[in-house]
């Protein structure tokens, strides 16, 4: 039986390259592609793949939140982050979201294939560079409390914050999330209160710094 894989990356050239390499493997097949996190969640729920190769920084819904939603809706699916970002915030939050691995995009395909098979053995795969960052972060966390955006804001508030930071209006965000404009406005007020900010510009800087968006 082939390992069924979904590719989630907002760059088509990356998806094309991965598809080409994966389809050379006798036991792997690409069943779908997604150019944003929200589509990746929908496809994972619909198609029940074995693995989702997930970019971290994507528009609309980032890979961290997409991973969280996929694991919640389809816990049998393994998510492996494949990212250009070696920032510890991305790495640690992807792992907290339930990812089974984290690799950098400069990894050789043999490493990617190995990570896929490792994940299906219910183990976690981290590339060497990422492993060092995880260990360093663990040591730091022994001395410092966690006050990241992922502990301060709720999942819905993080979605709203990302969409705001990406320049969407309240009406557009309401449409994206199937909420009323009034509800979105309430979320915005709560976000600003929790973060003690007074402008969208400050919120945007915060969202970028915390890894919610790469804009």
Burial of residue 118 (number of CB atoms within 10 Å: 0-12, 13-18, 19+): middle
- Please tell me the predicted confidence (pLDDT) of residue 1: 79
Q: How many domains does the chain have?
A: 2
Which residues have CB under 8 Å from 133's CB, separation 6+? 86, 88, 91
| pLDDT, tens digit only, all 215 positions of the chain | 799 999 999 999 999 999 999 999 999 999 999 999 999 999 999 999 999 999 999 999 999 999 999 999 999 999 999 999 888 888 989 999 999 999 999 999 999 999 999 999 999 999 988 988 777 766 666 555 556 777 789 999 999 999 999 999 999 999 999 999 999 999 999 999 998 888 888 889 888 888 888 76
Q: 189: domain CATH number?
A: 1.10.10.10
In total, the chain counts a number of residues equal to 215
| Segments forming the whole domain that contains residue 190 | 149-209
Are 122 and 175 part of one and the same domain?
no
Are 107 and 7 part of one and the same domain?
yes
Q: 63: domain CATH number?
A: 3.40.50.2300
Answer yes or no: is 214 within a domain.
Answer: no
Are 186 and 103 part of one and the same domain?
no
Are 49 and 102 part of one and the same domain?
yes
Instruction: For residues 38 and 49, give the distance between their C-alpha atoms in angstroms, rounded to a whole number.
Output: 16
Are 10 and 91 part of one and the same domain?
yes
- Please tell me the predicted confidence (pLDDT) of residue 189: 93
- Please tell me the predicted confidence (pLDDT) of residue 137: 66
């Amino acid at each position: 039986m082939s390992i069924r894989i979904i590719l989630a990356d907002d760059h088509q050239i990356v998806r094309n390259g991965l598809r080409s390499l994966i389809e050379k493997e006798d036991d792997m097949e690409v069943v779908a592609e997604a150019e944003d996190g929200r589509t990746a969640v929908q496809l994972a729920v619909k198609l029940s793949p074995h693995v989702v190769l997930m970019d971290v920084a994507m528009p609309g819904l980032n890979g961290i939140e997409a991973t969280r939603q996929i694991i919640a809706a389809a816990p049998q699916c393994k998510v492996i982050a494949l990212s250009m970002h070696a920032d510890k915030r991305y790495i640690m939050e992807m792992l907290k979201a339930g990812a089974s691995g984290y690799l950098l995009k400069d990894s050789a395909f043999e490493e990617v294939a190995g990570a896929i098979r490792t994940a299906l053995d219910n183990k976690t795969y981290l590339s060497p560079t990422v492993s060092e960052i995880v260990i360093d972060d663990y040591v730091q966390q022994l001395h410092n409390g966690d006050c990241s955006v992922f502990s301060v804001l709720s999942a819905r508030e993080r979605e709203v914050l990302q969409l705001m930071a990406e320049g969407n209006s309240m009406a557009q965000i309401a449409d994206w999330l199937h909420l009323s404009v009034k509800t979105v406005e309430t979320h915005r007020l709560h976000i600003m209160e929790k973060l003690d900010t007074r402008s969208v510009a400050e919120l945007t800087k915060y969202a970028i710094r915390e890894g919610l968006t790469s804009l």
